[in-house]
Amino acid sequence: MADKKPKMKLAVLTSGGDSAGMNAVVRAVVKAAILKGCETYVVREGYEGLVRGNSDECKTEKVSGSKGQEDSLLNNLRFGDGELLKDGTSDHPTGRTLRGRYIVRVGWDDVRGWFAQGGTLIGTARSMTFKTVEGRLNAAHNLIKEGIDAIAVCGGDGSLTGADVFRAEWPKLVSDLQAQGRITAEQAKQHGHLKIVGMVGSIDNDMSMTDMTIGAPTALHRICEAIDNIDSTASSHSRAFVLEVMGRHCGWLALMGGVSGGADYILLPERPPTVDSWEDQMCDLIKGHRDAGKRKSIVIVAEGAHDKNLKPIHADYVKDVLTERLGLDTRVTTLGHTQRGGRPCAMDRILPTLQGVEAVDALLDATPDTPSYMIGIQNGRIVRVPLMEAVKMTHSVAEAIKVKDFDKAMSLRDPEFVEALEGFKATSVLEKEPKLAHHLRMRVAIMHIGAPAGGMNAATRTAVRYCIRQGHKPFAIHNGFPGLLDDDINQLSWLGVDNWMTRGGSELGTNRKLPDIDLGGVAAKFQQYKFNALIMIGGFEAYKALSILEQARKHYPAFHVPMVHLPATISNNVPMTEFSLGSDTSLNALVDACDAIKQSASASRNRVFVVEVQGGKCGYLATMGALATGACIVYTPERGITLDMLRNDVKYLKKRYSLDIKGKNEGRIVLKNETASEVYSLEVITKMFKEEGGKMFDSRSASLGHTLQGGIPSPTDRARAVRLALKCMSFMEHHHQLLLKQPGNLKKANVDSAAVITIQGSGVIFVPATEMQEHADTANRRGTQEGWAKVADLVEDLVARKQILEKE
């Protein structure tokens, strides 16, 4: 039977500097497009590949598909049989060995497992030829020859501009090609309009109108790893290190590296020091830190850093200043291309996947009248924004810097950037004098509750440093409420928490016990220590503790103080917040483990790995982990597991393995939340798959258990910890000051002053404990609504579960 006519022939390319996550984009675009009935191509070596096209001897084969199948997905299943990367070999994108095919037809399995790899597997280039009309004419010709008139481009602002120029010029290129007799009138008619969509691949996070560019989170991982490694040697030798990181016009990497690496001083292009001599300022500050007992000093310099007069600041100069003025043994480390490389972190798998899916929809929706869109992320949502508007706004940052309008440059960055800079100052600088007047100062109790989660210590460090800066006294309550009752309490110091940014686990010790073990006793301790504020960092128990304390205000005046719960739990099950501290760290631990597990399959035989993950009664970790690892099945407590589901899953796996290339060992991941079913346990499911797989596939189990809790916190969790802890502190200051205004000794705290800090979109919202109750499913210890739940459908879509199951 003949193939169905594809809805659209679409090509995806990567261009400009490479970044982690580009492969995830290509994978998602190819898969989503095939699912929507499109025919998919990749263009190797960016625009250069478009210009060169396919030489006549190496024409792209037409799709034959399996006989008798008209299902476009199955026809597309393994087109190319993995030859994609072997064909038309090249040592270098612009090198002499380039030959053969550049516009390559790809199928479903060609992009399998791609997102675990860094860089871009289809190659990228900077093409001077594409910048010429002649080059673009050839590019148009090459596309039309293949019947393609839709392209998805992943690259920086230059690449996206190139795509827009190409689109605008397309009608003229088509008529020129027809006039030159290179295409027929019918081809000209058929391909009168070029559809384009852009996605931003850039490690600098330098594009306006999107909160995060593809590759920036991974680059930040590399920077933090470097800082963490340098930290120990710097401390051992009492050295100073100057780290140069990428970012010509954008200081995001330097700033976030500084925040999450606990640096002493940072130099950014968009906010140079305002003082006349930044050298004096830096030395003064670092000397203060040394005088306080610090044995290491870290300065981060963005590649494009300069002083307020635009005089470039180089790392070597910073080193000379520190050596000469402070006599510090100073070394320079330029991270360079290590920042681009390496395996993508979880976020650089999830976000590009979501963006790739949206990009295909944008192409399918495109008409000659719709603007060219760029797919971005705003407030945690995937959005389409007018591409050239974003490019223009991006350029205006560089222009503002050029004319020394640094306020404007900062205003063009998103609000989180500005907040992060404030956060850096608040947590890195040891002020000579506290900022607040005596009567406004508080005694702040800090407690960890529930299981440890990455970022708990970073949040505590932030709160402590902020307290000291303001003149508050920060008290560590060790081991939760039992520790409070046992007087396991001490005051924390600026230096004492210095290394806590990078530490996993809980430095304070944590405990699940709630205050109702002895409410009267807890209130007495509040009185004894004269606490004016309480911050509880933890999971669902911390929320419950907050509710109990708030309720108990009726009986105990000591609880009439501001109290905040900062969610920190790998389960991410606290109601109303999209992210808890620790959830990103554990997602990354999960991705690392699954990559390693999957690799072992290729060395053995076809194997299904059933991987059990934590998460309590919340399927967040399993679901997002499935999206980040390309797992083919996910079991969550929300959906549960039934025998019918298992029967279908076995059917799916058998069908799926039967479609694989013979002789190639394939590993597949099934992710199961620890509480998804009481009956169908990890062992039962693994045995069932093994039994049913017969000769086709084997099955093994792995339980990741507590590995997901430990480890060094991810940069995202550290940065979130700083942002949220600072907001908690100013929230408590605000409510403390309201209490101070009340006459008399018996103060009555406002009901809003006991709240949970939540992330909703990019906004941070304090939700009063009383209001949280209606959003909490207390029996299941999770929220009543879980925004991420629909991702489970996407996980199934991206393994074509429905289509494979429906095929007899």
Burial class (CB in 10 A: 0-12, 13-18, 19+), 419: middle
**CA dist 515 to 354, 508, 530, Å?**
42, 17, 17
Name the minimum Å distance from CB 125 to ligand ATP.
Answer: 7
Whole-number Å distance between alpha carbons of 453 and 445: 19
Strand partners, 9: 39
DSSP letter for 201, please.
B
C-beta closer to ligand ATP: residue 16 or 251: 16
Whole-number Å distance between alpha carbons of 365 and 350: 23
**Torsion angle in degrees (nearest 10) through CA of 155, 156, 161, 163:** 0
Q: Is 469 annotated as a binding residue?
A: no
C-beta closer to ligand ATP: residue 49 or 539: 49
Name the minimum Å distance from CB 355 to ligand ATP.
Answer: 16
Name the minimum Å distance from CB 20 to ligand ATP.
Answer: 13
Count of residues for the chain? 808
Q: Is 571 annotated as a binding residue?
A: yes
Burial class (CB in 10 A: 0-12, 13-18, 19+), 185: exposed
Beta carbons of 608 and 699 less than 8 angstroms apart:
yes
C-beta closer to ligand ATP: residue 138 or 161: 161
Residues 6+ away with beta carbon under 8 Å from 505: 452, 456, 457, 709, 710
Whole-number Å distance between alpha carbons of 46 and 137: 16
Q: Is 17 annotated as a binding residue?
A: yes
Q: Is 616 annotated as a binding residue?
A: yes
C-beta closer to ligand ATP: residue 53 or 582: 53
| Among candidate residues 647, 708, 643, 640, the one with its CA nearest the CA of residue 675 | 640
Name the minimum Å distance from CB 126 to ligand ATP.
Answer: 3
Residue 294, amino acid: K
Q: Is 572 annotated as a binding residue?
A: yes
Residues that bind ligand ATP (CB under 6 A): 15-17, 47, 126-127, 130-131, 155-159, 161-162, 165, 202
Q: Is 68 annotated as a binding residue?
A: no
Please measure the distance between the N-terminal and C-terminal CA atoms of the chain and give it in whole angstroms. Answer: 16
Concatenated DSSP letters of 541-598? HHHHHHHHHHHGGGT-GGG-S-EEEEEB-TT--STT-S--BTHHHHHHHHHHHHHHHH
C-beta closer to ligand ATP: residue 128 or 751: 128
Q: Is 23 annotated as a binding residue?
A: no
C-beta closer to ligand ATP: residue 169 or 518: 169
Q: Is 787 annotated as a binding residue?
A: no
C-beta closer to ligand ATP: residue 75 or 138: 138
Name the minimum Å distance from CB 43 to ligand ATP.
Answer: 12
Active site residue 204: yes
Element (H, E) at 804: helix 801-806
Q: Is 600 annotated as a binding residue?
A: no
Count CB atoms within 10 A of the CB of residue 181.
7
Residue nearest to ligand ATP (CB): 158
| Among candidate residues 561, 608, 585, the one with its CA nearest the CA of residue 749 | 561
Burial class (CB in 10 A: 0-12, 13-18, 19+), 171: middle
C-beta closer to ligand ATP: residue 157 or 211: 157
β-pairing, 698-703 vs 754-760, is: unpaired
Q: Is 340 annotated as a binding residue?
A: yes
Phi, psi of 358 (to 5 degrees): -65, -35
State CA 217 to chain mean position distance.
5
Question: Which candidate in 109, 204, 348, 584 is catalytic?
Answer: 204
Concatenated DSSP letters of 737-756? HHHHHSSSS-----GGGEEE
C-beta closer to ligand ATP: residue 377 or 545: 377
Name the minimum Å distance from CB 131 to ligand ATP.
Answer: 5
Beta carbons of 213 and 200 less than 8 angstroms apart:
yes
Residue 417, amino acid: F
Name the minimum Å distance from CB 111 to ligand ATP.
Answer: 22
Q: Is 730 annotated as a binding residue?
A: no
C-beta closer to ligand ATP: residue 202 or 427: 202
Range 12-27 burial, b when 16+ CB lie within 10 A, else e: bbbbbbbbbbbbbbbb
Name the minimum Å distance from CB 263 to ligand ATP.
Answer: 25
Strand partners, 41: 11, 105
Count CB atoms within 10 A of the CB of residue 370.
12
Range 737-774 burial, b when 16+ CB lie within 10 A, else e: eebeeeeeeeeebeebbbbbbbbeeeebebbbbeebee
Burial class (CB in 10 A: 0-12, 13-18, 19+), 540: buried
Name the minimum Å distance from CB 10 to ligand ATP.
Answer: 19
Half-sphere exposure (Cβ direction) of 373: Cα atoms closer than 13 Å: 24
Q: Is 338 annotated as a binding residue?
A: yes
Q: Is 52 annotated as a binding residue?
A: no
Whole-number Å distance between alpha carbons of 283 and 370: 54
Name the minimum Å distance from CB 94 to ligand ATP.
Answer: 10
Q: Is 156 annotated as a binding residue?
A: yes
C-beta closer to ligand ATP: residue 177 or 726: 177
β-pairing, 39-43 vs 103-105, is: antiparallel
Name the minimum Å distance from CB 733 to ligand ATP.
Answer: 41
Q: Is 339 annotated as a binding residue?
A: yes
C-beta closer to ligand ATP: residue 16 or 630: 16
Name the minimum Å distance from CB 168 to ligand ATP.
Answer: 10
Q: Which positions make up the binding site for Mg(2+)? A: 157
Q: Which positions make up the binding site for ATP? A: 17, 126-127, 156-159
Q: Which positions make up the binding site for beta-D-fructose 2,6-bisphosphate? A: 512, 569-573, 607, 614-616, 674, 700, 781
Q: Which positions make up the binding site? A: 17, 126-127, 156-159, 202-204, 239, 246-248, 303, 331, 337-340, 512, 569-573, 607, 614-616, 674, 700, 781
- Which residues form the catalytic set? 204
Q: Which positions make up the binding site for substrate? A: 202-204, 239, 246-248, 303, 331, 337-340
